Amino acid sequence: MNNTDYIYLDHNATTPVDVRVLEAMLPYFTKVFGNAASLDHEAGHEANRVVNLAREQCARILNANDPKEIIFTSGATESDNIALFGVAEKYADKGDHIITCVTEHKAVLDCCRRLEQLGKRITYLPVDQFGIVDLDALRAAITPKTILISIMFANNEIGTIAPIQEIGAIAREHGVLFHTDAAQAVGHIPVDVEAMHIDLLSFSAHKIYGPKGIGGLYVRRRNPRVKVAPVIYGGGHELGIRSGTLNVPGIVGMGKALEIARVEMRAEAEKYRQWTQMMFQQLRDDLGSVELNGHPTQRLPHNLNVSIKGIESRSLIVQLKDIAISTGSACTSASVEPSHVIMALGFGEERAHNAIRMGIGRYTTLHEILTAISQISLAVQRISNL
C-alpha cells in the first residue's frame, strides 16, 4: 500500500502500530530475546521482568487489583474462548446456563453455538433499536443454573456502549460471573473492572496501536475468586490457564500501547467525538437520507456507522478505491449476508445492506476526513445516477 493519497478509515478493524510502541518492542526481537519462563539465567530473568511490567501496565488501565489477574493470550478471540469454555467447564457442577446478546462478536456467538452442541443452555438476549439489552429482560433470564453473563462492552460495528456497570451489578447481585469482550473499549474509553463488577474481560493490542497476535484476559482473583479451566495445555504458563511460550515482544508492545492510551485517550476521544459528529452531519447535509446506526450518545467516539438509503454498501465501497471503510465486522466482511448486528436493531434487511462503518484514529487528519466525506458523497451521487 504505497498510495500516499490512501485514506484509512477502518480503525475498528485494526490500527497501525504506534512508532513509540514499535521502538519499545524492537530490542526484544534481537538483543533481549530470552524465554520469560527460563529463570536459570539473566536472559530469561530480563524477559520475565518486562513481561511483569507489561502485566502491570495492563492491570493499571483496567483498575485491576493484582497484575496476576492479567493472562496473556494471542488476542481477544482466544480470550473470549478461554472465558466461555473455561467457565463452562469449571462451573459445570453449579450450572449449565449462559446469557449473552444477539449482537455479540462472532468470537462469543460461535463459542456459544459450540457450547450448545456440548449440552449447555444459552439465552440470546435481543437489543433495542440502539443495540442495548433490556436490563429487566436480563434479570428475568437469570436462573439458579446461570453461571455466566457475557455482554460486550462496546459493539465493534455500531459503536454502542453497553450499560456495563448496571449489568455487572445485576450479575453480582445474583451470584453470576460477568464477562465482557472489551476489545473495542480498552484504551479508547474508561474501563474499571472494580467499579463495573467485571469478573472476566477480553482485550487485544491491535485495536489500540499495538501489534497483532497479542491480547489478554482479565480474570478476577478475589471477591469473587474466578476459576477457569485451561483451553491450551502444555507447561502450565500463565497460572496454568494458557500454556505456551510467551510472546515477549508482543507483550511489551501491548503494555506500551496501553500505557500511551491511559495518558492520551481522553483528549483523543474528545477530538474523535467532534469529528464523527461532523462527519455524520456533513453526510446528512450532502445526501439527506442518512441514518445513524447505534446509540446517538452512548457510543465509541471514533466509530461512525450509517446507512445511506438506496445505496448498497458494497457498491459504494467499490467506488472508493482510495478510502478504507467497511460494511461491518472485519471478521465477517467476506460474507454477503447482511450484518447480524444491524439486523438485530429491527430496521430490516435493506438498512443492513446499506450500512457502512467508518473508524478514525490517532493518525487521521481533518483533511483526510473532509476529503473522504466529499468522495463518499460524490460516489453516492454517481451510483444514484446510474
Residue 88 vs residues 36, 76, 107, 171, 202: alpha-carbon distances, Å: 30, 18, 16, 16, 16
Residue 331 annotated to the active site: yes
* Among the listed residues 334, 268, 277, 296, the one whose alpha carbon sits nearest the alpha carbon of residue 15: 268
On whether the CB atoms of residues 324 and 376 are closer than 8 A, the answer is no
Tell me which amino acid residue 103 is. Answer: T
The pTM of this model reads 0.95
Specify the pLDDT at position 334. Answer: 53
Interatomic CA distance for residues 369 and 47, integer angstroms = 41
Task: Tell me the sheet residues that pair with 97.
Answer: 121, 146
Specify the pLDDT at position 386. Answer: 60
7-15+265-385 and 19-259 agree in CATH topology: no
Specify the pLDDT at position 33. Answer: 87
- Domain boundaries along the sequence of the chain: 7-15+265-385, 19-259
Specify the pLDDT at position 3. Answer: 67
pLDDT in tens, the chain (386 residues): 566 789 999 999 999 999 999 999 999 999 888 877 777 788 778 888 999 999 999 999 999 999 999 999 999 999 999 999 999 999 999 999 999 999 999 999 999 999 999 999 999 999 999 999 999 999 999 999 999 999 999 999 999 999 999 999 999 999 999 999 999 999 999 999 999 999 999 999 999 999 999 999 999 999 999 999 998 888 788 888 998 989 999 999 999 999 999 999 999 999 999 999 999 999 999 998 999 999 999 999 999 999 999 999 999 999 999 999 998 644 544 556 789 999 999 998 999 999 999 999 999 999 999 999 999 999 999 998 86
Tell me which amino acid residue 45 is. Answer: H
Domain 7-15+265-385 has CATH 3.40.50.720: no
Specify the pLDDT at position 329. Answer: 46
Q: One of 58, 111, 112, 331 is an active-site residue; which one?
A: 331
Interatomic CA distance for residues 328 and 161, integer angstroms = 16
CATH for 19-259, options being 1.10.10.10, 3.40.640.10, 3.30.9.30, 3.40.50.300: 3.40.640.10
